[in-house]
Amino acid sequence: MAVEALQALVERWVRPEVRALAPYAVPPAGDLIKLDAMENPYRWPPELVEAWLERLRRVPLNRYPDPEARELRAALRRTWGVPEAAGLVLGNGSDELIQMILLALAGPGRTALAPEPTFSMYRILAVACGLGYVGVPLGEGFALDGPAFLEALERHRPAVLFLACPNNPTGNLFDPAWVERLLEAAPGLVVVDEAYAPFCEASWLDRAGGHPRLLVLRTLSKLGLAGLRLGLLAGPPAWLEQIGKLRLPYNIGVLNQASALFALEHWEVLEAQARRIRADRAALERAVAERPGVRAVYPSQANFVLFRVWPGRAEAVFEGLRRRGVLIRLLHGAGPGLEDCLRVTVGTPEENAAFLEALDGALAEAGGGAR
């Protein structure tokens, strides 16, 4: 078949909104120091890896997993203190749960609302599921612009409002008083996405199941198990019963269930790593802020730091870092308010030091003057 004919075939049948989507881009890291994806940089100690492998040895791969993942859900409830009143659905990462929520709500005239900038999967999945999507710009310092959100709720009557707390890629927590007001004013669901809960103090999880519109998302990804793909959705059972129908059977495999259970038994290891990352984040924020050529560093409650360089220099800084062996995330061009911005994940102290050294070189090369 000719290339043109194939292209025409694809264009005839793939929905226009899907064709218009930009894919969720993940550049290959190769041998670069990988500080672009908010992964926990620490592995498990060797004796723990041995014990984990020993556990996996006994897992029956010939059998389907427990479709309800009962044991794992019970362990997650205990570990995170999920309220009795809340139901729990597990996903192949929280991405899958976001998709399930949107699939349950999708329909003509249905809209999803979220701040701008925020986690890009809300838009991608909303559009893919056939909902409209509206981004409401954040205010000064990426704070929630409360009145603008109240107006947007009134105007668009969204089926769902996504609030990442802390927000990605900005790292800040939204004012809980405003979140509370939006929760009261929203006509539909409010999904509080707590992917970065291990790195901040505040949480809405204790309210899960206690408010008719609130769903809370958690994930093990940023906590050291990004490769596992396990997310959790907590909220009123009446909602989860419906949303759970869209879960593919056996979405959490036997290896994932066994590995997550094992990880929960050794929770203190992951917690200690998160504490370490929080402490190193403070040092990294200070060090980045001291660099001439850095115009702003945004205070972070997550495991990454967003910073702004001189106008027009972000791309050169990004490329300069990459040439020096460090991969971070270029956010310039990724949305309103992110002009000249870059995001770096908190790594090990050695990785952070290598990043800072490369940053000095990249900033000097990119130019742009002193402060």
Residues of this chain that bind ligand PLP (CB under 6 A): 38, 93-95, 119, 164, 168, 193, 195, 219, 221, 226, 231
In terms of CB distance, is 119 or 133 closer to ligand PLP? 119
Do residues 238 and 104 lie in contact, with contact meaning Cβ atoms separated by under 8 Å? no
Rounded to the nearest whole angstrom, what is the least distance from the CB of residue 219 to ligand PLP in the complex? 3
Q: Which residue is nearest to ligand PLP (CB)?
A: 93
Rounded to the nearest whole angstrom, what is the least distance from the CB of residue 213 to ligand PLP in the complex? 19
In terms of CB distance, is 14 or 21 closer to ligand PLP? 21
Rounded to the nearest whole angstrom, what is the least distance from the CB of residue 194 to ligand PLP in the complex? 8
Nearest to 291 by CA among 245, 214, 224, 344: 344
Rounded to the nearest whole angstrom, what is the least distance from the CB of residue 211 to ligand PLP in the complex? 20
In terms of CB distance, is 171 or 368 closer to ligand PLP? 171
Rounded to the nearest whole angstrom, what is the least distance from the CB of residue 169 to ligand PLP in the complex? 8
Rounded to the nearest whole angstrom, what is the least distance from the CB of residue 195 to ligand PLP in the complex? 4
Rounded to the nearest whole angstrom, what is the least distance from the CB of residue 301 to ligand PLP in the complex? 12
| Cα Rg of the chain (Å, integer) | 21
In terms of CB distance, is 183 or 228 closer to ligand PLP? 228
Rounded to the nearest whole angstrom, what is the least distance from the CB of residue 5 to ligand PLP in the complex? 37
In terms of CB distance, is 38 or 344 closer to ligand PLP? 38
Give the separation between CA 119 and CA 272, rounded to whole angstroms: 26
In terms of CB distance, is 96 or 280 closer to ligand PLP? 96
In terms of CB distance, is 164 or 305 closer to ligand PLP? 164
Nearest to 223 by CA among 280, 168, 299, 275: 275
Rounded to the nearest whole angstrom, what is the least distance from the CB of residue 293 to ligand PLP in the complex? 27
Secondary structure in 3-state letters for the chain: CCHHHHHHHHHHHCCHHHHCCCCCCCCCCCCCEECCCCCCCCCCCHHHHHHHHHHHHCCCCCCCCCCCCHHHHHHHHHHHCCCCCCEEEEECCHHHHHHHHHHHHCCCCCEEEEEECCCCHHHHHHHHHCCEEEEEECCHHHCCCHHHHHHHHHHHCCCEEEEECCCCCCCCCCCHHHHHHHHHHCCCEEEEECCCHHHCCCCCHHHCCCCCCEEEEEECHHHCCCCCCCEEEEECHHHHHHHHCCCCCCCCCHHHHHHHHHHHHCHHHHHHHHHHHHHHHHHHHHHHHHCCCEEEEECCCCCEEEEEECCCCHHHHHHHHHHCCEECEECCCCCCCCCCEEEEECCCHHHHHHHHHHHHHHHHHHCCCCC
Nearest to 92 by CA among 262, 274, 260, 266: 260
In terms of CB distance, is 38 or 327 closer to ligand PLP? 38
Rounded to the nearest whole angstrom, what is the least distance from the CB of residue 164 to ligand PLP in the complex? 4
In terms of CB distance, is 115 or 320 closer to ligand PLP? 115
